[in-house]
Every structure is written in structure tokens, then in C-alpha cells.
Structure 1
Amino acid sequence: MKKSYSIEEINSYLNGELIGTTTHLIEGPEQLQAAKSHHISFIGSIKYAKYWAASKACAAIVNDNLTMEPIDNKAIIKVKNADLAMAKVLELFNPPAPEFTIDIHPTAVIHDTAIIGKGCKIGANCYVGKDVELGDNVILYPNVCVFDETVIGENTVVWSGTVIRERCIIGSHCIFHTNVSIGADGFGYRPSEDGRGLVKIPQIGNVIIGHYVEIGANSCVDRAKFSSTIIGDGCKIDNLVQIAHNSVMGRFCIMAGHSGLAGSVTLGDGVIIGGSASIKDHTTIHSGATVGAGSGVVGDVEAGKTVLGYPAQDARDMLKQWVAMRQFMKKQ
């Protein structure tokens, strides 16, 4: 059923300041330039305010530090943070997840020793191995594999194609998107004694993932050589991210797409890793630090510091170098 709301209902939900009004019912959010008369949009920065007058959107959610005026039949809702308010609006219009016609599909293979919690849903062609434990309300969409002795906490959702290898420990309320790999072998080789080949180093550890962790499609978290690869509570990991063996992430870290941690990297709490950034093995990035997109970190990073470039260094110093280089090139 299609959802629609009046501007007054949206404002009541956001607890914002409504300026002006519109007779249009709102059927969903959209970008300012692509919006139609039944859409609501948002403006979180002054650089987007110039698009408001020409936009066909009937309403906009606006940061309260911006000076914006309503237009005929176009309303404004002022809020403290337009991004967070839009997130709430998106929840209103979020379509339901795919439905299960049966809780446990007859084609799923579940070992006799597995413990399945109340309210679990297991889709077609899933595999649940020996001594696996699924907490209450875990959802495994079709074609998920969970191997022996793995434990998954309650209300965790695992999307199709994901493989969780043996002995992993997964927290509650996690989301793993399509084709995530958790607990595959870490990458460990050494030259053979005769110098003619490579010796594979056994990887006998596991992966431990905290609560409320989200991992994007096609990302990999490798198991430890010994002990555990650890991802702390609340971490958010984008698509196509590599986390190597024995790495440890603190709480509420963010890793953007195509970034990667080499073996035995340690992240403190609240670390942000930009897209395509790479972190050298045995490096520590302390709490609150930020690594800019495309950077290469080859040494430890202090708490709260922002680094940029390759090799990564203090962002302000790197930007000064780039400006100086540009000026030098213009003179040539």
C-alpha cells in the first residue's frame, strides 16, 4: 500500500518548526533537483539552498541555521540537523523487507545439533552446521551458509550469499549484506626453505563481531592466525572492504568502500577510514582519528588526528604541500 502524509503529520513526527504550508500529500523523499510536487527534500548546507526556488518539491527539511523562506504552496520544516531528520523520514517510507512464506524453508539444511532460537527465519538453500547457535529472531535469507560452532546473537539479519565460517561469534542486531565473507583464512605465507615455493601458515583463530555491526556487500573479515579478529560494537563497514587477520576495531568505527586493514591493525573507538584508504600491517590508529580517502597509512596515528595522502601525514601539512606543488607547476 502506498504511503502518504500531510506536511503537518511529517512535522509532528520530526518535532520541527513548520514555516508555510502545502496542500500536496507527501509520497516520499527525493533530491531537490529531481523532486516532483508530491516529494519532500532536504537542505543541510547553504550551497544547496539556491536550488529551493526552482525545485518542484512541495516541502524541504532545512537546518535551522539557514535562512530560508517558504514559497507559495511549498513548506519548510526547520530542524537542528537535516540529515538526521531525513533519516527519520526515510524510515517512514521504507518499504517492507522480503517476506518469508514459511519460517524455515524445506530446502534448508540444518544440522541436528544446531540450536535455533524462537522466531528465526531460514530461507531456501541455507546451510546451518554442527553446533551452530542462532539467537531469537535471527533471519538468514536464501543461500546463506553458517558453519560449525558459530554463534549468532538475536535479531541479526544475514542477506543472501553470505558465508560465515566455523567458530565465529556474532553479536545481536547485526546486518550483513549480500556476499559478505566472515571467517575465511587470513592471508599468511612464507618462503619455503628451498626457496622454490611458499608455505601456507595455518589460520586457526576466529572472528568476533560485536552488537549493532553492519557490513556491506562483498566485504571480507578474515579469521585470525591465532586468537581473534575483532570488530567492536556499532561499527559500520561499507561495501568491498577488506579486514585482515588479527585486526582489532574499537567501537563505532566507520570504514568506507574499497578501504582495507592489513594484518594486526588496531583501531581505537570512533575511527573513520575514508574510501580506498589502506592501512599497513601492525599499525595503530588511535581513537577519534580520521584517515582521508585514498590515503596510505604506514605508521601509527595519534588520537583525534586527521591524516591524508600517501604516505599519510597531518592533513593540514599535506594540503599545504599540494598547494605549493600546484603553484610550482604553474611556474614551469
Structure 2
Amino acid sequence: MTTYTISEINTILKGELIGNTTEKITGPEQLQSAKSNHISFIGSQKYLKYWADSKACAVVVNDNIKIEPSDNRAIIKVKNADLAMAKILELFNPPPPVFDTDIHPTTVIHDTAKIGSGCKIGPNCYVGKDVELGNNVILYPNVCVFDETIIGDNTVIWSGTVIRERCIIGSHCIFHTNVSIGADGFGYRPSDDGRGLVKIPQIGNVIIGHYVEIGANSCVDRAKFSSTIVGDGCKIDNLVQIAHNSIMGRSCIMAGHSGLAGSVTLGDGVIIGGSASIKDHTTIHSGATVGAGSGVVGDVEAGKTVLGYPAQDARDMLKQWVAMRQFMKKQ
């Protein structure tokens, strides 16, 4: 079992240590559930009330929170408790699943595929014609990478993920279970005789930048022509839909159940809340935020926060909700 002293943890966090504990810390835990060998976190004043009754031997807090240590319990004050928590979680992060062999004998790899050094490929994977895997790529069991796809160094792809042909994936990406990259975009038109639907061929691809993380069961569809693009550093939650020909800038965030319709453009640093939906051919400029559950039907200015359905300036929408509540109370 991995353990640390409070001094060792503070050396990593570079915080202000107040008080002391002789307990060997075996991991982090929330205040209400912590045992005497746990360290916990307080990033907001509203959680301070749980400290007195918590059994945690130590707590990491934002430096603007007033808190006192007690017997055999220590406090580490830091600028940002959430970022400190990420460092501590990394300390106690269990190792990934073990590969008994670097490339499992049940894997099917086309003769023309190029496999970089240090790659690990699990059971029942498929690597197609002219695929290129960079160095230290990991494909967990049951991953399919189809023809002419390129994957950069140190990218990790979890089980069940399918990457269709001609996609370009950057380095240091993480795709969680059952991600779909490069499936056909959703394109149909009524037939001339009005008796059916004609499928529009989707002949483009998907380009994904470096350090992108995509959550389980999310989909990034290939472009009708040209490319669907996910920029460097984007973080995409579970169950997210990114439709054909959409373009995401750098370091965008999309929370679960949100979706981009076709040909949506996001600038850099855009945040899309959970279950928000963005109409096709809409542009959301850099630094804008879309609130959870919102429906965006028009362009959003840079740095603006929108909310509601249809989405509008968040302050205006909140005023409308207050007015509506007051009106309902009078009825």
C-alpha cells in the first residue's frame, strides 16, 4: 500500500503546513467519509462545517479559508485546493491494466501497418491497412483502427473504441471506452419521387489534435467533405455528439449529453454545459460559455455566457425566470 507523511505531501504541494499529524496517509477521501488515515479537501467555505466532525487526519484548503488544526490533525493551505487535489490523486492513482505481452497474438495487424516502438496492443484488436501508430500507443482489448489512420505518440485508446478510416489523431490523447471516431455524418435528403430518403455520402475524415480526452460513448463524425476538427487540449465528456464538419478550437470543454449539430464552429476555450445543444452552422466565439440544458440557435459573441432555450444572455434569462416566478406566486 502506498503511504505518505503529511510533510511529504506538503513538499509536493508547496503549501503552508499548519499543525501536524503522525498518521501515514493512505489516500484522499471526502470529509464526511474519511477515516483517520485519509487526507481531504475544502475548496469552498460551505464545506468548512464538515471539518469538525470529519475523521480525516489532514485537509487541503484554499488559503482564503479560516480554519484551525486540532490534535493530530494538519492543514495545508494552498492557492487552489482543486488543483492540489489533482496532484494528490495522481500520487495515489493505481497502475493501469497489465499487458502480459506487448502485442497479443489474437490481434490482427495488416502487413502494411506501421507500429511504433513501445506500443502495446491487447487481445482482439484490429489495425488496418496503412495505419500508422506512433511510439508508446496503447490499444486496450477490442479496439479497431481502420485503414490509413494515423495516431500520434503516447495516445491511449480504451476497449470498444472504433476509429474509422483516414482519421488523424494527435499525441497524448485519451479515448475512453466505446468512443466512435469517424463514423458517417448524419446526412439525408428526400428523394425526387418523395417516397424515401437519399443518403448523402460522407467522404471526409476527422482530425483530432494533441492532448485531447474523449469520454465513454461519445461520437465524433467524419465530415461530408474536408474534416471534422477537434483542437488541441479539448476535453469531451461521456455521451457527447460532435457532428460532421464541426470545428472545435483549442481547450474547449463539452459536458455530458451535449451536442454540436453539423458545421458548428467553436472558438478557443469555449465551455458547453451538460445537455446543451448547438444548432447547425452556428459559431460560438472564443471564451464563451453555454449553460447546461441550453439550446443555442444563433451565434454567440466572444466571452459571453448564454442560458436557456432558446439561449440568450444569462443575466437577461435569469431576470426572466425571477419575473416568471414572482408572477406565478401572484396567481
TM-score interval for Structure 1 and Structure 2 normalised by the shorter chain: over 0.9
Partner of 1:200: 199
CA contact (8 A) 1:180 1:219 kept: yes
Q: Distance in 2 between matches of 1:217 and 1:104?
A: 24
Residue type of the partner of 1:256?
A: A
The count of residues paired between Structure 1 and Structure 2 equals: 331
CA contact (8 A) 1:53 1:71 kept: no
Query: Cα offset for 1:4?
Result: 0.6
Residue type of the partner of 2:220?
A: V
TM-score when normalising by structure 1: 0.99
TM-score when normalising by structure 2: 1.00
Q: Distance in 2 between matches of 1:100 and 1:141?
A: 9
Q: Distance in 1 between matches of 2:70 and 2:285?
A: 48
Matched, 1:118 2:117: yes
Task: Structure 1: give runs of 5+ residues left out of the alignment.
Answer: none
Q: Distance in 2 between matches of 1:69 and 1:195?
A: 74
- String of CA shifts for 1:5-25, please: whole Å, max 9, x gaps: 111111111110000011111
Q: Distance in 2 between matches of 1:227 and 1:163?
A: 20
Q: Distance in 1 between matches of 2:140 and 2:171?
A: 17
Matched, 1:72 2:71: yes
Partner of 1:287: 286
Q: Distance in 1 between matches of 2:6 and 2:295?
A: 47
1:194 partner SS:
coil
Partner of 1:133: 132
What aligned pairs does 1:218-233 form with structure 2 within 5 A after superposition?
Answer: 218-233=217-232
Q: Distance in 2 between matches of 1:143 and 1:126?
A: 5
Residue type of the partner of 2:174?
A: I
- String of CA shifts for 1:283-319, please: whole Å, max 9, x gaps: 0000000000000000000000000000000000000
Partner of 1:241: 240
Partner of 2:266: 267
Partner of 1:250: 249
- String of CA shifts for 1:258-278, please: whole Å, max 9, x gaps: 000000000000000000000
Q: Distance in 1 between matches of 2:38 and 2:311?
A: 43
Q: Distance in 2 between matches of 1:142 and 1:131?
A: 20
Q: Distance in 1 between matches of 2:47 and 2:322?
A: 27
Q: Distance in 2 between matches of 1:281 and 1:15?
A: 47
Query: Cα offset for 1:150?
Result: 0.1
Partner of 1:106: 105
Query: Cα offset for 1:71?
Result: 1.3
Matched, 1:60 2:59: yes
Partner of 1:330: 329
Q: Distance in 2 between matches of 1:76 and 1:8?
A: 11
1:50 partner SS:
helix
CA contact (8 A) 1:104 1:121 kept: yes
1:18 partner SS:
strand
Query: Cα offset for 1:72?
Result: 1.3
Partner of 1:11: 10
Query: Cα offset for 1:38?
Result: 0.6
CA contact (8 A) 1:145 1:163 kept: yes
Partner of 1:84: 83
Q: Distance in 2 between matches of 1:22 and 1:74?
A: 5
Q: Distance in 2 between matches of 1:71 and 1:230?
A: 53
CA contact (8 A) 1:112 1:130 kept: yes
Q: Distance in 2 between matches of 1:250 and 1:168?
A: 18
Q: Distance in 2 between matches of 1:323 and 1:57?
A: 41
Partner of 2:150: 151
Partner of 2:311: 312
Q: Distance in 2 between matches of 1:26 and 1:307?
A: 43
Partner of 1:180: 179
Q: Distance in 2 between matches of 1:293 and 1:97?
A: 33
Task: Structure 2: give runs of 5+ residues left out of the alignment.
Answer: none
- String of CA shifts for 1:182-231, please: whole Å, max 9, x gaps: 00000000000000100000000000000000000000000000000000
Residue type of the partner of 1:331?
A: K
Q: Distance in 2 between matches of 1:13 and 1:183?
A: 41
What aligned pairs does 1:163-174 form with structure 2 within 5 A after superposition?
Answer: 163-174=162-173
Q: Distance in 2 between matches of 1:71 and 1:273?
A: 42
Query: Cα offset for 1:73?
Result: 1.1
Query: Cα offset for 1:181?
Result: 0.1
1:61 partner SS:
strand
CA contact (8 A) 1:219 1:239 kept: yes
CA contact (8 A) 1:308 1:315 kept: yes
